Amino acid sequence: MRGSLKRMRSDNRSMVLDYVVRQGPAARLDIAKALGLSPATITTVVRELVDGGLVEVVDSEQTTGRPRELFGPSASSVHAIGVKLMAHRVVGVRVNYRGEVTGEMEHAYDSRGPRPLDALAEVLTAWTGDRSGLLGVGIGISGIVDARRGRVVGAPRLGWNDLDVAAELSDRLGTRVRIDNDVMALALAHALYGPARQHDHFMILTLGSGLGSAVIAAGAVQRGARGAAGELGHVTVDAGGPECGCGARGCLEAYVSEPALAAEAARAGLATDFEDLLDKAASEPRARALFERAGTRLGRVLQTAVNLVDPAVLIVSGEGVRWWPLVADAVRAELRRAKAGSAGSVPLIPDDLDDRGWARGAAACVLSAPLETTTPHTKERQR
Amino acid sequence: MRGSLKRMRSDNRSMVLDYVVRQGPAARLDIAKALGLSPATITTVVRELVDGGLVEVVDSEQTTGRPRELFGPSASSVHAIGVKLMAHRVVGVRVNYRGEVTGEMEHAYDSRGPRPLDALAEVLTAWTGDRSGLLGVGIGISGIVDARRGRVVGAPRLGWNDLDVAAELSDRLGTRVRIDNDVMALALAHALYGPARQHDHFMILTLGSGLGSAVIAAGAVQRGARGAAGELGHVTVDAGGPECGCGARGCLEAYVSEPALAAEAARAGLATDFEDLLDKAASEPRARALFERAGTRLGRVLQTAVNLVDPAVLIVSGEGVRWWPLVADAVRAELRRAKAGSAGSVPLIPDDLDDRGWARGAAACVLSAPLETTTPHTKERQR
DNA sequence: AGGCATCATTCAAAGTTTGAATGAAGTGAC
DNA sequence: GTCACTTCATTCAAACTTTGAATGATGCCT
């Protein structure tokens, strides 16, 4: 019943869909050539995708001869919900299959309340309403997540441990639910919809209240052997440095994060909080120097990371993109120090992330796998 | 003609072969379950592989019922030649499909001679003799290699630039020839035959006259966007350090490599050359301290690398494994400094690499893809 | 109007996987 | 010794997918 011939077509459907989404508008013959399949097959597969509402004609071209129909991801038929979960707040977005935000929501929330999943389900059902065309709900969580099984392993900020979020929420909502670590989800969104989506090998760095990263290789987010890949926040940059929340000394995040920068500014009597520090940076050289030092430290670590991974580009995202200009030069200078490898030449691309970016990332968890049949709660094939 | 149904069976053959090689002896039903294919298919595919001489029964098990035939890679039917190319020397090994060395060769060579490929072909034909069961010749080269196209982009140590090695040598030898960067090839050998081969996510570090690394993810060697992945040798560890051959200052390789260690020892009046330094390390604390400082520097860089990649294990290989015990403790101490991520807990496994290890790696380039039809010199499908 | 170039679709043929039934190969009990 | 039993392996018709070649569609250009 789980025939491998069926799997073959299913694989081809996924491949075609993936190509259409990432490589922008494409004609059937383009797809056939790029994927090494025959035009006959593409005809069949594209028809299925169009019928399913995932793909639609977005343009047509002609030089001479029959016009080429160019296909792209559908803008209206289907959509997904993306949710960013925080300790006291939920932010949700409705995203169409092009990754465009078509609706949003923000609601108070208490992750440490008595029945956090019931409460979450309530907020979501109240908001979503009509469920036609809904592919599913994706949830991004800051913490360690077993995305494949849909479980939260440990999320200190939410106070959650070993919680079967996807299955439980799926029951309550009656929709497919996928969860993932927030940075991984954001990376996935970039792999599908970001400026670097044509590349199948790049890196993403997130700056903000913490510091995270992820590597996309062969078009897929790398999770590592234990799902802990991308942990650059607590790398030692100064063994004699101040103690970090993690228990170690001189972690990168203890220098390059909004709380750390604010704390350092406060100690130096430069600013009262981070917003104040940002204001001061416009005029006060000492404030700017503080960012530069952070940039140098960040750059040194990135030099190793980039030379190891050799990404096509490095995307900078997270709330911290707003102060990226203050550190960018120092980062670049440090990257250029390496004369071998790709550190010196990798393009650094700040991402225009807004408040809903993280939630959009969470939606990508669903958008990336629209063809999977609803996750069976029963047996899962082990590997 | 290049039917995708044929490709399907070809893919399944590869999958089965790969499983048998990496996951050790396995019965048909094991393979079927692990790969999600039906026993019927496995019967067919295994028969083809046995007929092709790639796989054979290595054992049989029984509790009650019909005995299970356990299959493993063949020890005798087929083999590959692996070659490590150096400026003045060629080292070759004959390797069976289990990755075991069954013959070896060493010959003088001048990579800067008038017709280097003719000379190489001559050495190899003289050595190999009988060609029955030969899957092909793999060549490992220190430098930048476009493995897919079989071209050397730039190999300073050999004095080669933009040379179509695979095609030219293939013509002269009448066999399939594959080339690759030596570190990538070594990593591939580990992915297939090393102690970490069950893991599909690990890292390898090579120590010796230089310093290299590679990441294996999803069972495949990661090449990065430009084929420059793993370049850890010229990462900055001390911006005020001594100048390195690459033009930068304070590169990791300028501290953690045999020439660098020897030079530092000479400056301190500790030893005349590296072998001398190794001897002294047995008794002289100052010599040992020199290695420890190198280990600390190495560990700091590895901390970032490991936390980023999250490998299941870190294999240490290269000629430098013999002095790994002198740096291991310092490396470990530095890795443990990180309280988050996997740096603190990743197992460090020195590989018992002998002189022929690099050549064996080169052979893996051929062993890893035995099912490919002879590379067509004509059109290549582009992607 | 007609020719033409290019894209797209149709359809019989070829090839692969699969479920169910059947066969094979031992163990252990009597 | 034989018989039942258990587990692994194979066979085979049926189901399904892809494909090459032929055919159709579509609009520009002369």
Which CATH number is A198-350 given?
3.30.420.40
A165 near A149, Cβ under 8 Å?
no
Q: Distances from the Cα of A316 to the Cαs of A155, A319, B1, B361, in angstroms?
A: 24, 10, 46, 37
- pLDDT exceeds cutoff 90 at B264: yes
Query: CA B3 → C1' D17, Å?
Result: 11
d(CA A58, CA A47): 15
- Can you give the pLDDT at residue B377? 28
* CB B66 within 7 Å, strand C: yes
Q: Which of residues 178-207 of B touch A (CB under 8 A)?
A: 199, 201-202
Question: What's the CA gap between B303 and B305, in Å, rounded?
Answer: 5
- With an 8 Å Cβ cutoff, are B304 and A232 in contact? yes
Tens-place pLDDT, residues B86-99 = 999 999 999 999 98
Residue A368: its pLDDT value, please? 87
Of B276, B342, B348, the residue nearest B316 (C-alpha): B348
Q: What is the pLDDT of residue B2?
A: 44
* % of chain B at pLDDT higher than 90: 79
A313-337 pLDDT tens trace: 999 999 999 999 999 999 999 999 9
In this structure, is the CB of residue A1 within 7 Å of any atom belonging to strand C?
yes
Asked if the C-beta of A128 comes within 8 angstroms of chain B's C-beta atoms, the answer is no
For domain B197-350, the question of CATH label 3.30.9.10 is answered with no
Chain B residue whose CA is closest to A31:
B383
**Protein residue closest to C6, using CA and C1':** A65
Contacts of A300 in chain B (CB under 8 A): 236
Query: In this structure, which amino acid lies at residue B363?
Result: A
Q: Given CB atoms, is A217 within the 8 Å cutoff of chain B? A: yes
User: In Å, what is the separation between the CA of A16 and the C1' of C8?
Assistant: 17
- Distance separating alpha carbons of residues B277 and B257, to the nearest angstrom: 13
Tell if A381 CB is < 7 Å from nucleic strand C. no
User: Read out DSSP for B236-291?
Assistant: BS-TTSPBPTTSSBSBGGGTSSHHHHHHHHHHTTS-SSHHHHHHHHTT-HHHHHHH
Classified as helix, coil or strand, B155 is: strand
Which element (helix H / strand E) includes A139?
strand A134-141
A68 touches strand D (CB under 7 A): no
pLDDT in the model for residue A372:
65
Exposed (0-12), middle (13-18) or buried (19+): which is B372, by Cβ within 10 Å? middle
CA dihedral B332, B334, B337, B340 (to 10 degrees): -70
Phi then psi for B272, rounded to 5 degrees?
A: -90, -40
- Contact between B178 and B138 under an 8 Å Cβ cutoff? The reply is yes
**Greater pLDDT, B197 or B378:** B197
**A377: amino acid identity, one letter:** H
Q: Contact A226/B300, CB-based, under 8 Å?
A: no
Tell me, yes or no, if A272 comes closer than 8 A to chain B by beta carbon. Answer: no
3-state DSSP helix/strand/coil % of chain B, to nearest 5: 40, 25, 40
At residue A137 the predicted structure's pLDDT band, cuts being 50, 70 and 90, is: very high
Measure Cα distances from B338 to A237, A295, B304, B343 in Å.
Answer: 10, 20, 9, 6
Note the CATH architecture for domain B79-186+359-367: 2-Layer Sandwich (3.30)
Q: Which residues contact B345 (CB under 8 A, 6 or more apart)?
A: none
Which ranges in chain A are annotated with CATH 3.30.420.40?
79-186+359-367, 198-350
On chain A, the residues whose CB falls within 8 A of the CB of B311 are 224-225
Helices (H), A220-284: 258-267, 274-281
Question: What does the pLDDT read at residue B129?
Answer: 76
For C15, nearest residue by CA–C1' is B5
pLDDT of amino acid B63: 83
Pairing state of beta strands B101-108 and B89-96?
antiparallel
The pLDDT score that the predictor gives to residue A3 is: 52
> Which letter does DSSP use for residue B67 in this model?
P
- What chain A residue is nearest to B249 in terms of C-alpha separation? A337
Cβ distance A309 to B308 less than 8 Å, yes or no, reads yes
Element (H, E) at A51: helix A39-51
Q: Do A308 and B36 touch (CB under 8 A)?
A: no
Average pLDDT over residues B60-71: 91
Mean pLDDT across chain A, nearest whole number? 91
Helix (H, G, I), strand (E, B) or coil at B321: helix
Take residue A108 and report the two structure tokens written for it.
Answer: 């108070």
Judge whether residue A129 contacts strand C, using its CB and a 7 Å cut-off.
Answer: no
Q: For strand C, is any atom closer than 7 Å to the CB of B12?
A: yes
A positions 332-361 inside 8 Å of B (CB): 334, 337-343
Parts of chain B belonging to CATH 3.30.420.40: 79-186+359-367, 197-350
Percent of chain A with pLDDT over 70: 95
Cβ of B5 near strand C (under 7 Å)? The reply is yes
Per-residue pLDDT of B188-239, as tens digits, reads 999 988 889 989 899 999 999 999 999 999 989 999 999 899 999 999 999 9
* Contact check, Cβ <8 Å, B213/A301: no
Give the other-Cβ count within 10 Å of A153's Cβ.
16
Classify residue B377 as left (phi > 0), alpha (psi -120 to 50) or beta. alpha
- Asked if B290 and B268 touch (Cβ cutoff 8 Å), the reply is yes
B172 touches A: beta carbon within 8 Å: no
Q: Where in chain A is the domain with CATH 1.10.10.10?
A: 4-73
pLDDT reading at B374 higher than 90: no
Q: In chain A, what's the furthest Cα-to-Cα distance?
A: 72
- With beta carbons less than 8 A apart as the criterion, state whether B316 and B205 touch: yes
CB–CB contact B340 A233 (8 Å): yes
Indicate the residue type of B91.
V
The minimal CB distance from A37 to the residues B4, B251, B338 is found for: B4
Mind telling me how many Å the CA of A217 is from chain B's nearest CA?
A: 8
Amino acid A36 CA to nucleotide D27 C1' distance, rounded Å = 28
Give Cα separations from B5 to B2, B34, B306, B372 (angstroms).
Answer: 9, 22, 41, 16
| Per-residue confidence band for A357, with pLDDT thresholds at 50, 70 and 90 | confident
Is A80 within 8 Å of A134 (Cβ atoms)? yes
Contacts 24+ apart (CB under 8 A), B173-177: B173/B121, B173/B124, B173/B125, B173/B137, B174/B131, B175/B131, B175/B134, B175/B136, B175/B137, B176/B135, B176/B136, B176/B137, B176/B366, B176/B372, B176/B374, B176/B375, B177/B136, B177/B137, B177/B138, B177/B139, B177/B150
d(CA A249, CA B363): 45
Cβ pair A232:B308 closer than 8 A = yes
Structure confidence by residue, pLDDT tens digits, B1-50: 345 678 888 889 999 999 999 997 999 999 999 999 999 999 999 999 99
Please tell me the predicted confidence (pLDDT) of residue B62.
86
Measured in residues, chain B has a length of 383
Residue A184 confidence (pLDDT) above 70? yes
Q: What pLDDT, in 10s, does the model give residues B114-138?
A: 999 999 999 999 998 778 889 999 9
Strand D nucleotides within 7 Å of a protein CB: 5-12, 15-21, 24-29
- In contact, B234 and A340? CB cutoff 8 Å: yes
Per the structure block, which two tokens stand in for A94?
A: 């409705």
B212 touches chain A (CB under 8 A): no
Residues B89 and B68: their CA atoms lie apart, in Å, by 47
| pLDDT at residue A379 in the model | 27
Q: Has residue A382 got a pLDDT over 60?
A: no
Tell me the pLDDT band of B382, cut-offs 50, 70 and 90.
Answer: very low
CB proximity B225–strand D (7 Å threshold): no
| Main-chain phi, psi angles of A314, to 5 degrees | -120, 115
Q: E strands of chain B, at which residues?
A: 26-27, 55-61, 68-73, 79-85, 89-96, 101-108, 134-141, 144-146, 151-155, 160-163, 177-181, 201-207, 211-217, 220-221, 314-317, 348-350
Q: What is the pLDDT of residue A212?
A: 95
**Strand C and B29 CB separated by under 7 Å:** no
Give the CA angle between residues B35, B40, B42 to the nearest 5°.
45
B41 sits within 7 Å of strand C by its CB? yes
- Establish if B236 touches chain A: CB-CB under 8 angstroms: yes
Token pair recorded at residue B53: 């001489």
What does the DSSP 8-state code read for residue A153?
Answer: E
pLDDT at B49: 94
φ, ψ for residue A275, nearest 5 deg: -60, -40
CB-based contacts of B261-268 (< 8 A; 24+ apart in sequence): B261/B290, B261/B291, B261/B294, B264/B290, B265/B290
Q: What mean pLDDT comes out for the span A190-213?
A: 93
Q: Is the CB of B345 under 7 A from strand C?
A: no
**A201 vs B225: CB contact, 8 Å cut-off?**
yes
Return the structure tokens found at A263. 């704390």
* pLDDT above 90 for B345: yes
CATH topology of domain B4-73: Arc Repressor Mutant, subunit A (1.10.10)
| DSSP string for residues in A110-121 | -TTSSSHHHHHH
Measure in Å the smallest separation between the Cα of B14 and chain A Cα atoms. 15
Please tell me the distance from the alpha carbon of residue A83 to that of residue A183, in angstroms, as a whole number: 13
Pairing of strands B314-317, B201-207: parallel
Across all residues in chain B, what is the average pLDDT?
90
Amino acid at A272: T
- Per-residue pLDDT tens digits for A40-70: 999 999 999 999 999 999 999 888 889 999 9
Average pLDDT over residues A271-285: 95
